[in-house]
Amino acid sequence: MKEKLLSSLKEALQIENREIALEDIFRDYEEWDSLGRLSLIAALDEEFDLQIEDKQFEQIITVGDLLKAMEAKASK
């Protein structure tokens, strides 16, 4: 799930020239904006069949936090 998430995140935010780490605060990426947010949420739904509520999404800070939230939802 981790590698697929990293790939989806890079694609959703159109990141080409750098690696993404679990410790990264994805909202600090220069590519992060409202369109990037929507693209990421859509990618999570399409690629993983996961929906993360806005309230929960706002509490997610790092890429690792996002992965943990996804794993928790997937295990339900």
Give me the tens of pLDDT residue by residue for the chain, a chain 76 residues long. 999 999 999 999 999 888 999 999 999 999 999 999 999 999 999 999 998 888 999 999 999 999 999 999 888 7
User: pLDDT at position 54, please?
Assistant: 87
User: pLDDT at position 53, please?
Assistant: 87
Q: Cα separation of 61 and 46, whole Å?
A: 22
> What does the domain layout of the chain look like in residue ranges?
2-74
| Cβ proximity of 22 and 63 under 8 Å | yes
User: pLDDT at position 10, please?
Assistant: 94
Q: What is 2-74's CATH topology?
A: 1.10.1200
